[in-house]
Chains A and B, each alone.
Chain A
Amino acid sequence: MNWSLLWAQLFNGLTLGALLVLVAMGLTIIFGALGVINFAHGAFYMVGAYAGYVAYAATHSFVLAVIAGAAALLLVGIVIERGLIRYYYRRPHEDQILATFGLGIILVEAVRAWFGGISQRLPVPTWGTGAVNLGFLYYPTYRIEVLGIVAVTLVVLYLVLYRTRLGLIVRAGIEDQLMVNVLGINVNRTFLVVFGLGSMAAGFAGVINAPIVTVVPDMGELVLVQSFVVIVIGGVGSFWGALIGGLIAGEIISLTAIVQPAYSEVMLFAAMAIVLILRPQGLFGVQGRQ
């Protein structure tokens, strides 16, 4: 066994997992509070990456690119919640899925029409070039920084969810949506904010990840699928479920690649199938929630 390869893959799994956590967290928060599962979430992630790309091309500042990506998705989220999603709160889940799925198609095709299908690159920021000597491993600086950025973001998200009134409403909604409505909380505004924040998380993840992957219109599809798997493994509506589920998913993909690269993606779905058989509600999910 090659130890530096193992360490490298462990770290790769961590960075991949961290980004999946970020995307899945947005999905879970939106679902928990609004009861809507956003099939356009992968497209949001992709739009974030493109927004970052455009901002970087204009300013050559990576920080501005990240801010632009997050801000663009906050805006997109707000516009879409007001323009489409709000009409779906009272409709069956299937309709919500269909509408957001259609929305995803529109966004992907709009970006494809604008930028073409060719892949774009967002370069690694100047403060992220090169590699760091960890003692046991030389690892790309930017990827380590990504871990730090995601960790900070998750702490902020945790504080918002567990230390603010908004977070209380979101968590209460995850427990019992009807009750929150009955209590007369202004859910209308809360929904808007939550959808905006969840979308922002996807956009943010999109820009952060852009230097690691290639930016193409279809880049969100795989991320969407993987974050679904994360949610199934971790359990919907659970902060810790999304966190642990995301890291597990990242490590499964990376570590399988050492042994049998051809199976790295497939193993992820096998893990999901095992969770479904042994613990259908997910590792951190509550039994009985629909």
Chain B
Amino acid sequence: MIVEKLSARGPLGRWLPEAAAVVGLLIFPSVFALIGGTADMADRILIWGIFGLGFDILFGFTGLLSFGQAAFFGSGGFMTAYLLIAGVTDNAMVALLIGTAFAAILGVIIGALSLRRSGIYFAMLTLAFGEMFYFLDISPLKEYTGGENGLSGVPATHVGIGKWFVELHTPEGMYWVIAILFLIGFWLARRIVNSSFGAVLLSIRENGERARTLGHDIQKYKLAAFVIAATYAGVAGSLFGLFQGYMPPDGFYLETSGQLVVQTIMGGAGTLVGPTVGALVWIYLRTALQQLPLVGPVWKMVLGIIFVLIVTLFRRGICGGIAILWERLVGSGVAGATAPAVAVAATDKSPRTRAPLTGKVILEAKDLTKRYGGLTAVDKVSFQVVEGEIRALIGPNGAGKTTFFNMLAGAIPPTGGEMFFRGERITSAGSTAICQRGLVKSFQINQLFPSLTVWDNVRIPAIARTYGKFHPSMLRDVGNSEELNALIAQSLAAVHLSDRAHAPARELAYGEKRRLEIGLALATKPSTLLLDEPTAGMSPSERQDTIRLLKSVAAGVTIVIVEHDMDVVFGLADRITVLFNGRKIAEGPPDAIKANPEVRAAYLGNPVQK
């Protein structure tokens, strides 16, 4: 994103977007007037822009598509209008603050309910809850909201000190109030997006499940994003009522939520200013199209067609398109600036001698069982892994290795049995908590954050390790954390990806992706690493490199590895556990396993009769 690229250019560059916003807001009314725009339209555009700043954090950055934002826009607006009309306060800004807080509280409730499902359900639920607010507004609460008539007669107020004030009922005066709030909102949104909190939001958009297994409580992050969006919506709704002197029930219409979505897509999601640009296009085109003879009656259909075309062909919208052009013009030199230039400590290339095994049990499973209906995938498997050990888990296809592994990592709950890690029971702790305790799994099929750079990928687990499973610090620039940067650099060096730090994960070669997959797990600084077929799909020479890499990693951590390649298994493991048909049939040092007749029979497909 342009904004981020520029911000990496030092103190001057860091404030460039805000400075541009100030200049833009100052000259906007006069420039807009040149193309026939009015102050009334300018106010509306900025109100939709504030509404959109919050929505972009929710949709553009976190990937949560809500069709119910009108609920918070309307609630904020009606609360503010009601307070002023009922005379609870005569200060418009106090009313606005209360209205906004009201919208935020509703955001907590509706967010907690809607986020019980994800993906399409989330979109459907938010749409339904949004509609619920409309029905509440027009029927049970009409005594307070005026029902279908809305609340009219919001008293004319002004904001200011002494003789320096602006009238809120004139579009020209209101513009400056809205502009200042927009600026504050923009500044805050930029801080949020560039914080560690914002980095985790992006990772949820890219691959939420992976963020969860890397130790982030993504439900809390999603809820926080939802509440932020509701808060912005509350401010926008309050301003809407103040500026019109009238709060109409339209505030709660599905059309309001829909228009927000459409504007955000048109302007460009994930750019923060996109929704404002979208609002400019929508509101300006609406006015312009309505004046044309033939198109006038069908202006909304025309905008609908434009919208579908943009979704189909030009998904990044106007601002996204500008960003692509900018990247082409300026080149990749700027892109390199996103990751701070941390001096990568040269890692010790000589193979480290591993510390002698302490004999202390670090990971233990007792009678671990998983049943799917009548099928028992894992049948009372018990095993103990000693600190510092490399343990291989082998068995023919369908032996239950992956199921067993997934239970250990907390990805699926066991049907029976217990699991202990460093003496603590982790049987029903879930993957996030298990990861936070230092037991992490890398996946057989790469689970990366495709659009993020390698550096930003590794930043996600580093944040979980450094700040815990939920860290709502939204104002500190994540790039400035020395602690994080050091951990990221160290993890990248360990998997030999330091020179690829600036490449987006999706552009990596297969072997590099595989190493990044391990790097993600390493950056959680695990004490025990579960590796699910780390060499899957690799060429023989890549396999040798990976074995070396794993050996160097093994200096500090305990490793449990599932692997089909016997060269890898016998070249690495201290001990081997063999699963067959869901049961443990053998365990011991490599040589003993090689000689075990039962193991041989299992692999040759001739099970020993018991």
Contacts and interface: CB of A to CB of B under 8 A. Distances in A.
B261 A101 contact: yes
Given A93-B119, A262-B139, A269-B129, A106 B311 contact: no
Interface in B246-270: 254, 258, 261-262, 265
A99 interface: yes
Interface stretch (B188-196, B224-232, B294-302, B359-367): B294-302
B127 A228 contact: yes
Interface stretch (B10-18, B130-138, B454-462, B466-474): B130-138
B326 interface: no
B312 A37 contact: no
Contacts of B129: 269, 273
Interface in A71-103: 84, 87, 93-95, 97-99, 101-103
Nearest to A274: B113
B140 A232 contact: no
A94 B305 contact: no
A221 interface: yes
B567 to A, nearest CB: 31
Contact of A113 (B258, B262, B298): B298
B124 interface: yes
A126 interface: no
Contacts of B139: 261-263, 265-266
B304 interface: yes
Contacts of B117: 232, 276, 280
B120 interface: yes
A102 B315 CA distance: 13
B414 interface: no
A215 B405 CA distance: 58
Contact of B63 (A94, A229, A273): A94
Given A109-B300, A225-B127, A99 B308 contact: yes
A277 B127 contact: no
A106 B304 contact: yes
A97 B65 contact: yes
Contact of B312 (A84, A106, A261, A273): A84
A113 B258 CA distance: 20
Contacts of A228: 124-125, 127-128
B116 interface: yes
B116 to A, nearest CB: 5
Interface string B272-312: 00000000000000000000000001101101110110011
A113 B117 CA distance: 37
A290 interface: yes
A37 B123 CA distance: 10
Nearest to A98: B311
Output the residue of B120, B135, B308 with the most chain A CB within 10 A.
B120
Interface in A88-130: 93-95, 97-99, 101-103, 105-106, 109-110, 113
Contacts of A110: 298, 301
A287 B82 CA distance: 43
B305 A99 contact: no
A37 B120 CA distance: 7
Interface string B559-585: 000000000000000000000000000
Contacts of B298: 109-110, 113
A98 B300 contact: no
B574 to A, nearest CB: 36
A44 B40 CA distance: 36
B118 A269 contact: no
Contacts of A98: 65, 261, 265, 307, 311
Contacts of A102: 262, 304-305, 307-308, 311
Given A37-B124, A105-B258, A266-B135, 19 more contacts: A84-B312, A93-B119, A102-B307, A102-B308, A102-B311, A103-B304, A103-B308, A109-B300, A110-B301, A113-B301, A225-B127, A225-B128, A228-B127, A265-B139, A266-B132, A269-B128, A269-B135, A273-B129, A277-B116
Interface of A: 31, 37, 84, 87, 93-95, 97-99, 101-103, 105-106, 109-110, 113, 221-222, 225, 228-229, 231-232, 236, 261-263, 265-266, 269-270, 272-273, 276-277, 280, 290
Interface of B: 63, 65, 67, 113, 116-121, 123-125, 127-129, 131-132, 135-136, 139-140, 142, 254, 258, 261-262, 265, 297-298, 300-301, 303-305, 307-308, 311-312, 315
28 contacts: A37-B120, A37-B124, A84-B308, A94-B63, A98-B65, A101-B258, A102-B304, A102-B305, A102-B307, A109-B300, A110-B301, A113-B297, A222-B131, A225-B127, A228-B124, A232-B117, A263-B140, A265-B132, A265-B135, A266-B135, A266-B136, A269-B129, A269-B131, A269-B132, A270-B132, A277-B113, A277-B116, A290-B118
